[in-house]
A and B are shown apart, each in its own frame.
Chain A
């Protein structure tokens, strides 16, 4: 038994000590806790931590196997994302107690705040008093026991799991219903109460999912895409695509869902040219040896930065949207190229971890596959706020792809049309976000860079919050970004183009005199080293490729990712289809693509007269269309659109 006095040392130091004592198998007493945040986060040893007083936000968060006893009250996010282990709170708990737990037992002797057990997957959350509104909001599994009253809208949009209420059920949430109480389950429940020495003699009512929203009622006939020229640019107003949309929607009675990225032409990096005539490419020999390209990303707060051999990363894409072997191939390619890969939503597999030398682990609102162990073995942590393809909305994964294995890694019921929450339970504004970032840093000992993934919208404002909340870098995703599945209209009409996004970001930072003070990784519709160099010239610190790497690895751009039976075995979880994909071959194809990108970046940088990619700047660019000129404020040189031709370059 050791003692830590929070009146004497700061939480950061205390957490390091807690983990150290934990590793030694010592139980810990914490005195003078003063309702500090993040007490005990990141602990993964089966020791007991007693908090003599009240704790603040995220007490016992991001832990596994440990036992916590808090004498008085706790702030919000109690036991955040806890795997196994237990927490006993003597007093009350604030909002989202037991958020995203996956096996833990949480006992609150008093009342608990709103949205308790939000997105929980497994384990038990017991509240001996009353619950506030929306207990069990979006829960995927596990058990909530409320001995007092349920609060309003209990079980709102729960996908699975059970909620038992001993007092009054004040109102049911959407897609929740009263279920039958089986005696065996009640016996288990009473055994649980006995174990924690809690006496309750009343009866229970049970709330379960009603099943109205777990599946789209009608499935959409998979159509192969119409050529984009038919509905883009100069096409008719009532073009074939518009007519197809109307016909399909009048059959299914709901909005359309599809995969891939936006379909239409938008202002793009392609509308920007180089101010200098790029010529004599044939004479450039081994430009890679002549241009410094190594780029460190994410070290500004003292974390170990990502060490990139060129200013390029792999964009976040999930195992789930993509097959296991595709993620493996991309991981291998990223290692061969000396760049970083990103898990996207949905967890980190051993194969992915093994394949990618540098791997960023992404956290979404549903906390699918999120856990302390994978956090610790990641090379970077990323909070997903939104993505370019469907900003403002959560991910969608059609039932066909929610296989047993995938459901396990994500901790969700198998075979549902998974619509991930669009918001984080504990990020309702910039101030929450700040504390969330701190929790992640605390849990991993400040070793890892923490980034934010932002779909481009009100970037000018968002980037200021990202900067002030202490992120190490921003992954900024324009509306040309792609996805495994999303609302078709959202993909086309929500968000701003990638070139607008970078301009807004730079403007936003300039407005608060923070130019260059947070690194920006630009993505969304980038296809080659040319796009990369233009992005760097505009002011990005690095770029990320998503779809382009998929294509390099054999994707044929049929845009049927959402269907789940990808013909090339990429966007599928069906073993019959996945076996069509040969990761060992495709990894090399993707790697060769990345090497092509490297050569292009080096050759262009060299041709522009520099020896370091960091020298690239806006003066190297001109705008080739009126829109690009107005968005980027680059000089408008339409005549160069005609001149920049093949023969001049080689």
Chain B
């Protein structure tokens, strides 16, 4: 069974919601990703995202109707992100030199496609990518359909079209082109069905509709589509002084702007039967036309054409808007007695198009203006013949025709694979998961307008009306994107929650069906955020603030004491921090760290002293280097195995300490340390104190602190030895938690390394970038110490304490069972 899910699609990703722009795009373009790539300067990646579902990206960059832009949420703020211009920028930048890899033919079946407009060629593209040999039959001498015949060169230069067509043919080597081959003239439907396994009719809406009013057979009343076709074939006819264009669609816009550029024409007037709010033309085309001095006459309905002298007179009535029709558009109602005339030398009727094909008509396959086609299957009356595009569903936009191409390709594939009842087509949405642009100005940057040239110096040459962005403008415009697709920074208001709330806020209160669907969505439970394998972690401890109970007066702002004494006052620290981990760091880094530690007289724990003016807590590895008289403390590293340490103080105030890396040896170590009057017990939660960057192994083992405190409490000797914790301390908050759990001070390693400009490599090593000077690093170290001290004191203060050392286990709660167990702290809300 062929499922839409077989197409690349990311909508199952819980952390992705297709952005409104992507949803609005008929071909599902991953706009947020390419916009983000543009900001990063990754144009090749942007190109991939752009072209993945759109073989006419260069064309769309110029002339797409861009339904993405009105859908952009920034519309409501200061204007939508200029998504089309950004695409144009990428395609102009690298579109002519990048080709997606060719896809070989792998299937035995072949498909015929009649017509090479956007619907036909997208179908050809998608079917080629699926491995089919595709034959395109085109009645003119070029590929492109209305893209090439219907759009004037000042909006879409021919070179741009060639670029897309060449890329398409390179990508699809199995694509066979049959030019100058019209259906019913060069080839018959029977022949196509005979030669191929499926046929797609994408014949387009090639002929303009007549106005159907008296006098519209006058030779000076011409058809807008034909007029554009002639001009695109190279004609530059002499025009009368005044030209009237009837209609308000895109053909009318192109026709009026072309007329304005042709020799002889001075005035162009557009007559439209509804008002400016109803006109279907895309805003940017309309604005362009207005800027080019084209006059718009709204609420005016033509009723007859008649010669008047050398001129033509159009008889018109004024209109007003009446009741909405079945499509919800308000019907223009003619105002009685408002008859008037508008004079001109030529009328270009652009009131709609129709598909025609005598050959299909003979077979009874046509409706009045298009091939009879069922939307749900894209099938015509013939089970082997499909249809798509304007020729099947009436006039629309290029990108909508492309969507038809995708749809029909899907159903043709299903047919060729033998699925008689495929799942309904659903637009797939992909994301490239590009990080958000970290642009400082993103909230402020205004909409970036490309330079507009209008008619230009020599209008008859049809120079391009506007420029492509430069790289800075493109980057600024890209920075403006909200990134509605991306996961947010908050679990409670994740992208899915946010979008559901958005949807609720846009649901009619009386629409019960939508309420029911939304409620069903909202009832879906989330995954357990704390699965069994989540380890105990400092992250899952929280502080209980002082509110009505434990009210205190004086601690305002950050004031709270954090100085710390070790060894019954023999060693005093301004902050509860000890540095470690730089024994083997590059010389410049060691000097910088030493400099940074001086601000707060922070001691350094290591096998080597860091500098003569930084207090040194010597890490003594039993049996290696002997204790030094220079050290403020000897910390003998027992690691995972207990052994007796015979040592003496080498100076009067030298502290003695033991370090343990395993809870298993706490009992013996503590009783030994107390018996031998050690001052410090260093608890190594990382399990690897002394080895490089041991903390990178992950969550520190908190049970070692819990057990040490429990043993000391049991024997009632907590006050006799100072506990210091090492392992995974990342902030002042972590510090305050460890102090609350019983530690006097903490040892910082990786945190200082990161501050001083190291990067984590392969999850177990740190590498210092060479591009930071000593002062920078030193300042960063002093800064992180100050910030951490502030955080620690804030935490203490919020619990109502004026001294960090007074924070206690009772000030903590756990939010996970694992952490509650590992620390002995109760789960919040249970005590």
Contacts and interface: CB of A to CB of B under 8 A. Distances in A.
Interface stretch (A14-22, A191-199, A455-463): A455-463
A502 to B, nearest CB: 8
Contacts of B520: 281, 646, 649-650
Interface in B319-361: none
A262 interface: yes
B92 to A, nearest CB: 28
Contact of B443 (A496, A560, A593): A560
Interface string A611-643: 000000000000011110011100000101100
A317 interface: no
Interface stretch (B407-415, B544-552, B581-589, B658-666): B544-552
6 contacts: A224-B489, A228-B490, A233-B530, A233-B534, A254-B786, A596-B507
6 tightest Cβ-Cβ pairs between the two chains A and B? A225-B489, A500-B829, A392-B798, A392-B545, A649-B520, A253-B783
A501 B523 CA distance: 22
Contacts of A274: 523
B783 A487 contact: no
B294 interface: no
Interface in B504-518: 504-509, 512-513, 515-518
A250 interface: yes
A363 B494 CA distance: 32
B830 A227 contact: no
Contacts of A631: 827-830
Nearest to A599: B515
B545 A461 contact: no
Contacts of B516: 281-282, 284, 603, 649-650
Nearest to A629: B817
A421 interface: yes
A368 B798 CA distance: 22
A489 B524 contact: no
A557 interface: yes
Given A567-B482, A592-B505, A225 B488 contact: yes
A553 B505 contact: yes
Given A504-B829, A559-B488, A596-B507, A458 B517 contact: no
Given A278-B523, A281-B520, A630-B827, A462 B549 contact: yes
B361 to A, nearest CB: 46
Contact of B491 (A232, A455, A489, A552): A232
A270 B557 contact: no
Contacts of B639: none
Interface string B781-798: 111101110110011011
A243 interface: yes
Contacts of A630: 817, 827, 830
Contacts of A548: 493, 501
Interface string A498-514: 01110110000000000
A527 to B, nearest CB: 6
A604 interface: yes
B730 interface: yes
Interface string A279-322: 00110111000000000000000000000000000000000000
Given A138-B556, A253-B782, A627-B816, A556 B829 contact: no
A423 interface: yes
B283 interface: no
Given A495-B542, A552-B502, A641-B528, A391 B488 contact: no
B390 interface: no
Contacts of A260: 489-490, 493
Interface stretch (A41-49, A72-80, A425-433): A425-433
B497 A419 contact: no
Contact of A528 (B522, B731, B782): B522
Interface of B: 15, 73-74, 76-78, 435-438, 440, 442-444, 482-484, 486-495, 497-498, 500-502, 504-509, 512-513, 515-531, 534, 537, 539, 541-553, 555-557, 559, 695-696, 698-699, 728, 730-733, 737, 750-751, 754-756, 760, 763, 780-784, 786-788, 790-791, 794-795, 797-800, 813, 815-817, 827-830
Interface string A37-59: 00000000000000000000000
Interface in A423-464: 423, 427-430, 433, 452, 454-455, 457-458, 461-462
Nearest to A235: B539
B543 A246 contact: no
A595 B78 CA distance: 29
Interface of A: 138, 156-157, 174, 213, 221-229, 232-234, 236-238, 242-243, 245-247, 249-256, 260-268, 270-271, 273-274, 278, 281-282, 284-286, 385-386, 391-393, 419, 421-423, 427-430, 433, 452, 454-455, 457-458, 461-462, 465-466, 479-480, 487, 489-490, 492-497, 499-501, 503-504, 525, 527-530, 547-548, 551-554, 556-560, 563, 565-569, 577, 580, 582, 585, 589-590, 592-593, 595-597, 599-600, 603-604, 624-627, 630-632, 638, 640-641, 644-646, 649-650
A226 B519 CA distance: 29
Given A284-B516, A457-B544, A554-B76, 5 more contacts: A495-B542, A525-B492, A580-B78, A585-B76, A650-B516
A419 B732 CA distance: 21
Contacts of B760: 238, 243
Contact of A527 (B501, B550, B815): B501
Contacts of A504: 829
B783 A428 contact: no
B488 A238 contact: no
B791 A391 contact: no
Nearest to B483: A224
Nearest to B546: A392
B549 A461 contact: yes
A533 to B, nearest CB: 10
Contacts of A247: 754-755
A431 to B, nearest CB: 11
A508 B698 CA distance: 38
B84 to A, nearest CB: 21
Q: Which of A255, A603, A650 has the most CB of B within 10 A?
A: A255
A245 B729 CA distance: 13
A501 B547 CA distance: 13
A457 B545 contact: yes
Contacts of B816: 627
Q: Which of A237, A493, A650 has the most CB of B within 10 A?
A: A493
Q: Which of B73, B556, B828 has the most CB of A within 10 A?
A: B828
A246 B484 CA distance: 28
Contacts of B782: 253
Contacts of B698: 236-238
Contacts of B519: 281, 529-530, 599-600, 603-604, 649
Contacts of A604: 519
Contacts of B512: 284-286, 599
A259 B15 CA distance: 22
A559 B784 contact: no
B77 A568 contact: yes
Given A461-B549, A479-B542, A392 B507 contact: no
Contacts of B501: 527-528, 548, 551-552, 593
Contact of B557 (A213, A551, A560): A213
B523 A527 contact: no
Contact of A385 (B548, B751, B780, B799): B548
Contacts of A156: 556
A496 B491 contact: no
Given A222-B440, A270-B525, A566-B443, A251 B780 contact: yes
A641 B440 contact: no
Contacts of B797: 392
B505 A589 contact: yes
Contacts of B442: 224, 567
Given A225-B488, A423-B553, A264 B539 contact: yes
A247 B482 CA distance: 25
A592 B783 contact: no
